[in-house]
Amino acid sequence: MSTSPRHEYRTTTRSYHASPNDTVRLLLRLQKSAQKINSILDLDELLEEVVEQVCELFGCLETCILLKEPKSNDLIIRATRGCNVHLKGSRFPEGRGLVSHAAALGETIYTPDVSRDARYVTCGHVTNSEIDIPLKVCGRVIGVFNVSHPDLDGFSRQQRQLLEALAEHIAIAVDNATRFQRERLERERMRIEQEDARNIQQAMLPRTSPALEGFRVEGRSIPSGAVGGDFFDYFPIGNGRMGFVLADVSGKGLPAALLMCTTRGILRSLARHSVTAGDILSQLNRILIEDFPAEKFVTMVLAILDPATGILQIANAGHPWPLLVQNGSNGDATRFLASDCGLPLGIMESAYCEAVVRLTSGSSLVIYSDGISERSNDSGEDYGLERLRKIGSSHDLSVDAILADADAFAAGSPQNDDSTVIVLQRT
């Protein structure tokens, strides 16, 4: 790919006579080089290793690997040894140099005397012969393997065959390294997107608990992945009342997180103009039936508290039953608030019944997702409602206590679903 005017240099053809032992040694060294090349997955490291090995094995003046740029179809030097003019990053558009012609033909071009070929592009040192071998993957040219020699006809037929065989290994290794690099970049892009989505989702969860005189409120959500489909929220309803919601969107990951954000926004909008918990869920259900993708739904518990009286109005849309702890003193005073009606949101028309309870001093309401009740251990046993009832009736009832108890039960088993808890206690 490089030289100065030809007439200043030797004009006699170089003769090449390799002994059988020399050939065997070269083959063995080529085999080791091919094995090493095929083991490298970092593209830049791979290409640098190739040009280094070829220069060492064949005593070449210049070695270069050019890869095609998909958008422009230009050949770009990705690794080179020996040339101080055409450096890494130099471009060879279609029609420029022997390399571009080899790429266009898809065939090896051997030029024993470059001074006789007008397609040759000169460089700053003495080159008299050059071989350009297309790098192919499944018949598709991805680049060119270029090797130059200071002698006329500097490559014997056997050497050319060996270089072509080596080029096949280089093409496969380049394709593997390119795929690996592309997958690594894609994984990194997805990791960044998931991290951004997680930060956005966490920002939508309440950062502080509402200040309600005579009440303590806690809430926490731990997604099983980068993002989750669970959410909880607090918002004013009107007339001094406060709404508490915990919901679980079907599915996992980004799709569930997107549906969670949609549901949260609609719910907050409806809560400004509705009176009862059942009315809010009915309106929300009608909207989600129209907007949600098929087979997607939301389970939800919505509780509306009147702090002045301690009265709670609770509606349930197919969600695990909330736990009511009366006075928080003994197991007999705890019960799950079953619902007589209320399908998950987004499936079909449904009525939403309302339960009305009054929180007395020391009483609590625990709302949780099935990531708590269905948390399993190594034996496949679920955490279950009775364990939740037991921790609910203990004197140290809190969100952290429930989450810690579920973690202790799982004993290191992975968290396969989002875990979310709200504890509302009258102090």
Task: Tell me the pLDDT tens digit for each residue of 379-393.
Answer: 889 999 999 999 988
pLDDT at position 258 over 50: yes
Return the pLDDT at 32: 63
pLDDT, residue 26, reads: 58
Instruction: Judge whether 45 lies within some domain.
Output: yes
223 located within any domain: yes
Predicted pLDDT at 209 = 92
d(CA 330, CA 200) in angstroms, rounded, equals 41
Answer yes or no: do 175 and 242 share one domain. Answer: no
Q: Are residues 329 and 231 in the same domain?
A: yes
Confidence band, pLDDT 50/70/90 cuts, at residue 342: very high
Is 195 a member of any domain?
no
Which CA distances in Å does 117 have to 75, 110, 112? 20, 11, 10
Boundary residue ending a domain (151, 183, 215):
183
Q: Quick one: 218 and 86 in the same domain?
A: no
* Phi, psi angles (nearest 5°) of residue 308: -70, -35
On whether both 307 and 364 belong to a single domain, the answer is yes
Give pLDDT, residue 16.
Answer: 43
pLDDT category at 18 given cuts 50, 70, 90 is: low
CATH number for the domain harbouring residue 422: 3.60.40.10
Give the separation between CA 134 and CA 164, rounded to whole angstroms.
9
Domain around 37: 6-183
Number of structural domains (the chain) is 2
Q: Is residue 229 part of a domain?
A: yes
Domain boundary among 183, 214, 246: 183
What residues have CB less than 8 Å from 12, skipping those under 6 apart? 152
Q: Does 103 share its domain with 53? A: yes
Considering the domain architecture, whether residues 421 and 273 belong to the same structural domain is answered as: yes
Question: pLDDT, tens digit, for every residue of 87-129?
Answer: 888 899 988 999 999 999 999 999 999 999 999 888 766 888 9
Residue 30 — very low, low, confident or very high, per pLDDT cuts 50/70/90?
A: low
**For tokens 């290794």, what's the residue?**
173
Determine the Cα–Cα distance for residues 185 and 43; give it in Å rounded to an integer: 13
Same domain, 213 and 96: no
Instruction: Let me know if residue 190 belongs to a domain.
Output: no
What does the pLDDT look like over 121-149, one tens digit per residue? 887 668 889 999 999 999 999 999 998 88
E strand map for 164-240: 215-222, 230-238
Site of tokens 């040219």 = 141
Same domain, 136 and 246: no
- CA-CA distance, 267 to 244, in Å (whole number)? 11
What residues pair up with 345 in beta bridges, in sequence order? Answer: 298
Q: In what order do the strands lie in the sheet with 241-249?
A: 230-238, 241-249, 298-306, 311-317, 354-358
Q: How many whole angstroms separate alpha carbon 23 and alpha carbon 13?
A: 21
346 and 252 fall within a common domain? yes
Alpha-carbon distance 102 to 167, whole Å? 13
> What confidence score (pLDDT) does residue 9 get?
34
Pairing verdict, β 109-111 and 334-336: unpaired
Helix/strand/coil for 70: coil
pLDDT at 278 over 80: yes
Residue position matching structure tokens 């500097």:
154
CATH of residue 160: 3.30.450.40
What residues form DSSP beta bridges with 67?
76, 143
pLDDT at 11: 35
Residues 111 and 215 in one domain: no
Residue 137 included in any domain:
yes
Nearest to 113 by CA among 14, 210, 239, 261: 14
Query: How many residues would you count in the chain?
Result: 427
pLDDT value of position 2: 44
Single out the residue of 263, 309, 254 nearest to residue 288, CA to CA: 263
Helices (H) and strands (E) in the chain, counts: 9, 16
Report pLDDT for 75: 93
| 3-state DSSP assignment of residue 295 | coil
* CB burial of residue 391 (10 Å; 0-12, 13-18, 19+): buried
Mean pLDDT of the chain: 85
- How far does CA 357 lie from the centroid of its chain? 45
**Do both 220 and 113 map to the same domain?**
no
Q: What is the DSSP letter of 150?
A: S
pLDDT per residue over 346-355, tens digit each?
999 999 999 9
pLDDT of residue 143: 93
The answer to the question of residue 200 being in a domain is no
Q: Are 209 and 89 within one domain?
A: no
Spatial contact of 131 and 110, defined as CB atoms under 8 Å apart:
yes
At residue 344, does pLDDT exceed 80? yes
Q: How confident is the model at residue 328, as a pLDDT?
A: 45
Is 284 inside any structural domain?
yes
Return the structure tokens found at 247. Answer: 């919901």
Which two three-digit tokens encode residue 158? Answer: 């056997």
